[in-house]
Structure 1
Amino acid sequence: MPQSFLSLGSNQGDKEKNIKSAINDLSASVEILAVSKAYITQPLYYHNQEDFLNLALKIETTLPPEKLLNTINKIEKKYGRDREKEQRYGPRPLDIDIILYDNIIIDTPHLKIPHPRLYERAFVLIPLLELDPKLTCPKTKKPLRTYLDSIDQSNWTKTPKGLTLF
């Protein structure tokens, strides 16, 4: 069964509840294999907003990538996310991204795997590497650790040891 890695974040409402409930909702469609610690992180691109709570999931699923994306979009909408009206990189009650899906590469207008900003985000890389320290990028064939080593982590991750929610 294909394995995938998802990144979840929230910075509106009850962040912890949003993420825990979303994981529960996801478990109806995918098998959750592992959950990283949760990290409180500063917003990266648009700074005038609350801090985020971020974590990563390792999952197995029979859903093809496009159907997994549709499932994720429905869950985000359930928690109040409106992609049409929200500010890009602005506050949101729930954000779920497909970071990796097996070793495939997809580049369509609606879906890009691996996630195109994976390489610049400590709040994605740290939880992913916690789940699997040997992960490599299917596109560049480089270990993800090399990207983490090349970005400034100090401004993004306020709690490097993480918070265990599960």
Structure 2
Amino acid sequence: MPPLYSPSEQAAVLHECFISLGSNIDPEHYFAQALEIISRECVLLARSNAIRTAPVGYQQQPDFLNAALLVSTPLEHEAFRAYLKGVEDRLGRVRGEIKSGPRTMDLDIVAWDGEIVDDGYFQHNYVKKPVDEVLAGSGRSLEPQKG
């Protein structure tokens, strides 16, 4: 897939996006693959360390590896969300009957242009802790979703 951003695109409006990553099927392998793809196709601005967490919801599965990325993209929100679902598919994600079941990679938009768009940030430490690490290291801050 060609890069989603070219440095020569000076007229493009760039959006900053915090992405939550999660995997519990060969997580080290799929984290490396996701990072390689996203770094090649987007502008990676910052990343958190990975943390190991117990599953939420369905318990009969391995622990998860979770992290957060801050990227820049010229895509609009819904197009970028579709892009992330495509990356999940490229990494072998199977969407089964159990929504909170095992997965090779889960990529969710947590914040878009400084605005929190996923309540998971407030509800789950596996989302909040990595995002807060990136915030602290990047000097950025987030606002709750408007309206």
TM-score band by shorter chain is: 0.7 to 0.9
Deviation at 1:67, TM superposition (A): 1.3
Alignment partners' CA distance in 1, 2:34 and 2:97: 19
The yes-or-no answer on 1:87 pairing with 2:98 is yes
Over 6 Å off, 4+ runs: none
Alignment partners' CA distance in 2, 1:26 and 1:50: 25
The yes-or-no answer on 1:50 pairing with 2:56 is no
Which residue does 1:138 correspond to in 2? 144
The yes-or-no answer on 1:102 pairing with 2:113 is yes
Deviation at 1:89, TM superposition (A): 0.7
- Secondary structure of the residue aligned to 1:136 is coil
Deviation at 1:43, TM superposition (A): 0.6
The yes-or-no answer on 1:122 pairing with 2:134 is no
- Secondary structure of the residue aligned to 1:92 is coil
The alignment covers a number of residue pairs equal to 131
Higher helix share: 2
Alignment partners' CA distance in 2, 1:138 and 1:51: 29
TM-score relative to the length of structure 2: 0.81
Task: Go from structure 1 to structure 2 and tell me whether the alpha carbon gap of 1:93 and 1:103 turns closer, same or farther (over 3 Å shift).
Answer: same
Which residue does 1:63 correspond to in 2? 75
Q: CA RMSD in A?
A: 1.9
Task: Go from structure 1 to structure 2 and tell me whether the alpha carbon gap of 1:135 and 1:47 turns closer, same or farther (over 3 Å shift).
Answer: farther
Structure 2 gap ranges (5+)? 1-13
Which of 18, 21, 33 aligns to 2:45? It is: 33
Deviation at 1:140, TM superposition (A): 6.5
- Secondary structure of the residue aligned to 2:41 is coil
The yes-or-no answer on 1:10 pairing with 2:16 is no
Structure 1 gap ranges (5+)? 105-112, 142-166
Alignment partners' CA distance in 2, 1:49 and 1:135: 34
TM-score relative to the length of structure 1: 0.72
Which of 26, 34, 43 aligns to 1:22? It is: 34
